[in-house]
Structure 1
Amino acid sequence: MVFSPVIMVLKSPLGDKDIQMADNSFSDGVSSDSLEAAKNASNTEKLTDQVMQNPQVLAALQERLDNVSHTPSSYIETLPKAVKRRINALKQLQVKCAHIEAKFYEEVHDLERKYAALYQPLFDKRREFITGDVEPTDAESEWHSESEEEDKLAGDMKNKVVVAEKEAATAEEPNPKGIPEFWFTIFRNVDMLSELVQEYDEPILKHLQDIKVKFSDPGQPMSFVLEFHFEPNDYFTNSVLTKTYKMKSEPDKADPFSFEGPEIVDCDGCTIDWKKGKNVTVKTIKKKQKHKGRGTVRTITKQVPNDSFFNFFSPLKASGDGESLDEDSEFTLASDFEIGHFFRERIVPRAVLYFTGEAIEDDDNFEEGEEGEEEELEGDEEGDDEDDAEINPKV
């Protein structure tokens, strides 16, 4: 209704004065808010025009558009249907490759089982030396270290003094059986393990005599078992505590391209037969309760979970019923899998080097070397663009 006077004026052969009167009548029918909005829209258009005339703004906008247009997904969307069809065929081939890779890792597991049998006699002898059941021969005890070369440079006189001092010290030193606290020392040296060990766990771990890895039998689902062998002690009656890690070497049906080899999918612990009053995985607390009606107060005792390394043998179960775990549970389970893998791959095969700390130093040096190389490469990138262009012509 308010627009009709304008239309009529435009269509009529009136003069400028009449047109002005029509405009005024139109303004009278429009709210001040609408007029203000129209002014703001006009100002916005002017500002947009000014911004779009700025070459720096245009360059930044073009760069963003270029980046968006060059993403892999956006590029694939621009391809003809015939090309997309061929890409789908390549994906089918890739899935078949993933299944072949899974079979490869199954055979690797069989190979690990074969060589584990070859390692085991050496690990059995290691246990005998640690426990003191067998004393190594002079030939077995001979080891040439770098420090011996330094001693030779000092001359015969210095060597005689060193030998004399060693003989005197040996005569005074005690001769304990085997290598005391061998595995417990490894637990203290490795941060991943020491974080789990509480003060009241330490006396128990000093009774640990050996850790073994057992692989699943041929034809059985892929898995491995960690066996912790303990000497008789005052804490539990078990001679062996076990932890079984179940593995899968099969591409995920929902996401087959994520397959990167066997993965731990679940684990089972064992029951620890604690002696009376020795269970360190629980603690007894006292709690006061007030009767609602009579108002009397009584004190009760109850057992609650306690932090301990031996909770390692009562692991959280992976959800198998389709329900997802919460974030804390997922983190706990992932940490458990990582520890099990570390025992299997590093600690058990190289125990003596974790006892002496040499393996830990090697790991630290390797990580520092990687970081240093990365920093150096970053410096090269910032300092010499021409060299980068030569190395990577696509840049």
Structure 2
Amino acid sequence: MPTSTSAPPPAAAPTARPQARGRRRVDRRLALAVAFALLVLAVLASLAVGSRAIPLGTVLDALRGAGGDSQDVLVVRELRVPRTLVGIVVGVALGLSGALMQALTRNPLADPGLLGVNAGAAAAMVTALGVLGLTSRMQLVWAAMLGAAVVSVAVYVLGATGRGGATPVRLALAGTAISAALYAYTSAQILLDTTTFDRYRFWQVGSLAGHDMTVFWQMLPFFAVGTALALTQARPLNALALGEDSGRALGAHVNRTRVLTAIAVTLLCGAATATAGPIAFVGLAVPHLVRALTGPDQRWVLPFSCVVAPALLLFGDVIGRIVVRPGELEVSIVTALLGAPVLVALVRRRRLAQL
């Protein structure tokens, strides 16, 4: 009696997943190109828009070194170019440090200040103003940077004390405790000295205005080293996202990854806070927006954050120049007003809140 054999499985089935992955890679690259185009648009808007609008042709002439010494050209070269460059590096720093902190602590609500960076910078700022009597902008920037670095080291040492080493929970608790103590010290200093309070409040509000190229060039090495170090931690952080034991099995060095990531966050967030003051929601919200496009893969999250965060910061700065023209609304206020509703919406979506 003849027997029949079942038909073999379709040959196209094994290739379906690789094709889907290929489409996903193309989509990510396309999204990155769009994000970069938005960053270029934000840069041009930052150079052309302000208390007085400058034609784009004049802006391009100023960038090429043409246009002579007209008032518009001087405004672009002396004021808006340094402000835009500071906005770019500060945005990159905040976006990267936020993504690193959320990946390191596996906490979707972690922000760059969790290691005490903002509190250390603030405490050093009021000490430099009220105790040491420093007045130079660069002296205050360096004091804030030093305070951020010292406090970050103290947080890590405190978090690493005891059995188990520097776990994400220990680091978060140590950062919270030290930040509370330093903010109490900062509040006492500014309440006892009105002169210190007057100088400190302009830094505390967070702004990109008032910087020249000297500040940019002196802070650039910290931004560059921090960015390079952050991008090298993408693969180890991906491995640690599966758990410490699984990460070790995949070849990740847990303690080394934590130390290098903490150093990168300190350099990036410390330099950004020292330069522009504490700017809220950029480092917290941008990684969530990026993961909505890329997923949790840090090899994509970190480069996307380098592009999306400065674009968001520059657009916020431009909005601040327009809404109360001829005055200005500080960029930290604009990012808070824009970022809070977005963050609430993201947190309510559990799928995006998980790392």
Q: TM (normalized to structure 1)?
A: 0.25
Richer in helix (by share) = 2
Larger Rg: 1
Q: TM (normalized to structure 2)?
A: 0.28
